Chains A and B, each alone.
Chain A
């Protein structure tokens, strides 16, 4: 309980003792119902909640709205509103995210985590497009359009067939290829160094195996590095 609420309870108790007018048996009920709350703000109405309650929960799709969309319609919207950053086939333009491909690369020297190779849940794709995309104009797509785009990106990754229709029933059932590779319990600490203080390593064996010197990757900053060129 907050300290202010405690203070209020104490004041109420003092007032009750002083007045000695209210039967003691009523005091706990009053304290519980009236004096533990601040009562600031206004109740959220169902209409207000509906407007902002945009999340779709990945595991079971709870929160997905009515509506549906297919791969072909998704391809049209994607070409119009998404491909300038993500590439027509989800290959990614410049440093914008690659959405498709990368299968089998997660143990490679340079992994390519994409929706197909990495994402554990299909519903997350719906939720993310709906809340954050298109990047310059978020929250402007209809639910049907978001379903269609989700179907298209899943199809680009060969996760659903070309005739797939995404809706609140079908999306939670889509099994993502990398779903089982995630653990959701933090296993750290996963190192157990001992705080050795003297002669911990032989200094003669130490050598620089990597240096930032001369790599020309450091943007201009303060101090003597000011002569570096911006990247």
Chain B
């Protein structure tokens, strides 16, 4: 029997209208439609299609001395929801990824508490559990763009943000369990990695919404994300969500560790520095089109993007296609969750002419995502962290997209 696939494959045929025949369109039959596929548990832990091999975390080798104290970026250009797949969640290490053995992991809680405690992971998982969806963003996201446009890629300009459903125990539950002494005001959280990454956190935030997390998107945390236990501090700079968490010490003052003095502080143009700038302010970016995902010709498109804020929910997102001269309100896609990535879309008919695409987020407090010029006016170009400015994508007539800054 003659297989249509054979006919189609052998031919760069012209159809009756003179157009080139489409090898895959009906009536063609493909090989996978005429054979039996792999059985269940062929891949006991599932993998993406081999065709998705380019959808991976990437690093910028010139950014850091090595990969052990470094960062990788999520491929936002290829993602389609508010949840980042666990394999693609951005990574930040200070002494490489420790491969912790769960049976040997302990959490010690001590300091200004009534009952210093040591907990195994089994102990921790017995406590009442909570699940919440939150983003985590490294405050250095966009840090390479303060002086000018450097990286022609959504992945590298914005990929230090990811979002997941986190499951664990409320930090307040554990602090109640050990009993806080009345002068308790701060906690130190410390990792089991080689850097023993440590940060101070004010007690109010800890009792408000912090989680000790052992699961991410329904499965155990990945080693890259702190297996078996991490802290999640919703809406605050990612560095405080300490991974491989092994110690919580309660105190009455902050510690001023290296990561909250030498690093994660913001140098201002007058030589002064800001410390304890934990909050992630409102931010958004257009994820389609973007440098990695250009336009294929004039016509109707859905501009898509992500918005987020550490203050709560995103209230509105506006989109401009003319470099900020005129703006239209985008549609927010449900679910719109507090301190989570929020999707927005807006239709756009591209006429094939040069365009400058921008998005602007507004949070529940009314705070408006600033332009880079407005941020620079206050903070100069050397503060490294907390660049939440409006991103401009330049669309050229051939549909290609570039990371630019407008003046």
- A residues contacting B by CB (< 8 A) are 1-4, 36-38, 40-44, 48-49, 52-55, 57-60, 85, 94-96, 106-107, 111, 113, 115, 118-121, 124-125, 127-128, 131-132, 135, 138-139, 178, 181-203, 206-213, 215, 217-226, 230-231
Contacts and interface: CB of A to CB of B under 8 A. Distances in A.
A155 to B, nearest CB: 18
A210 to B, nearest CB: 4
Contact of B128 (A3, A58, A111, A189): A3
B289 to A, nearest CB: 10
A197 B77 contact: no
Contact of B404 (A42, A44, A184, A212): A212
A36 B179 CA distance: 11
A55 B375 contact: no
B261 A111 contact: no
B382 A111 contact: yes
B61 interface: yes
A23 to B, nearest CB: 27
A231 B62 contact: yes
A124 B378 CA distance: 29
Given A107-B271, A197-B327, A211-B394, A222 B276 contact: no
Enumerate the 5 nearest inter-chain pairs by beta-carbon distance, A residue then B residue, closest first. Answer: A209-B407, A58-B256, A210-B148, A223-B292, A212-B152
Contacts, number: 282
B269 A107 contact: yes
B347 interface: no
Contacts of B312: none
A124 B256 contact: yes
Contact of B405 (A95, A119, A208, A220): A208
Interface stretch (B1-9, B11-19, B318-326): B318-326
B21 interface: no
Interface in B304-322: 316, 318, 322
Given A107-B271, A138-B95, 17 more contacts: A2-B173, A44-B110, A53-B249, A55-B190, A138-B195, A184-B275, A197-B328, A200-B326, A206-B323, A211-B402, A218-B152, A218-B153, A218-B156, A222-B155, A222-B292, A224-B294, A225-B292
25 contacts: A1-B176, A38-B126, A41-B118, A52-B247, A53-B249, A55-B198, A95-B65, A107-B271, A118-B267, A121-B256, A131-B198, A191-B375, A193-B370, A197-B326, A197-B328, A199-B325, A208-B394, A208-B407, A211-B394, A217-B151, A218-B151, A218-B153, A221-B156, A224-B400, A225-B291
A219 B170 CA distance: 40
A43 B117 contact: yes
A170 B341 CA distance: 48
Contacts of A195: 316, 318, 327, 360, 362, 368
A158 B323 CA distance: 50
What secondary structure prevails in chain B residues at the interface with A?
A: loop
Given A95-B65, A208-B404, A198 B326 contact: yes
A27 B54 CA distance: 64
B94 interface: yes
A185 B276 contact: yes
A76 B56 CA distance: 44
Contacts of A120: 256, 261, 275
A55 B188 CA distance: 9
A106 B274 CA distance: 13
Contact of B327 (A41, A60, A198, A202): A198
Interface in B345-390: 356, 360, 362, 367-371, 374-375, 378-379, 382, 386
A59 B128 contact: no
B190 to A, nearest CB: 7
B162 to A, nearest CB: 17
A231 B94 CA distance: 22
Interface of B: 54-55, 58-62, 64-65, 68-69, 75, 77-78, 94-95, 108-110, 115-120, 123-124, 126-128, 148-153, 155-156, 170, 173, 176-177, 188, 190, 194-196, 198, 246-247, 249, 251, 253-258, 261-262, 265, 267, 269-279, 281, 291-294, 316, 318, 322-328, 356, 360, 362, 367-371, 374-375, 378-379, 382, 386, 394, 400, 402-407
Contacts of B152: 212-213, 215, 218, 225
Contacts of B368: 191-195
Contacts of A213: 152, 402-404
Given A53-B110, A212-B150, A215-B150, A206 B356 contact: yes
Given A191-B378, A194-B368, A225-B292, A132 B128 contact: no
Given A2-B173, A124-B257, A128-B258, A113 B151 contact: no
B369 A193 contact: yes
A135 to B, nearest CB: 7
Contact of B75 (A52, A202, A222): A222
Contact of B323 (A55, A85, A201): A201
Given A57-B251, A182-B272, A224-B400, A210 B95 contact: no
Nearest to A206: B323
A196 B94 CA distance: 42
A11 to B, nearest CB: 15
B274 A186 contact: yes
Contacts of A226: 54
Contacts of A59: 253, 256
Nearest to B170: A2
Contacts of A128: 257-258, 262
Given A44-B117, A186-B274, A113 B262 contact: yes
A213 B257 CA distance: 39
Contacts of B177: 37-38, 40
A130 to B, nearest CB: 9
A206 B271 CA distance: 31
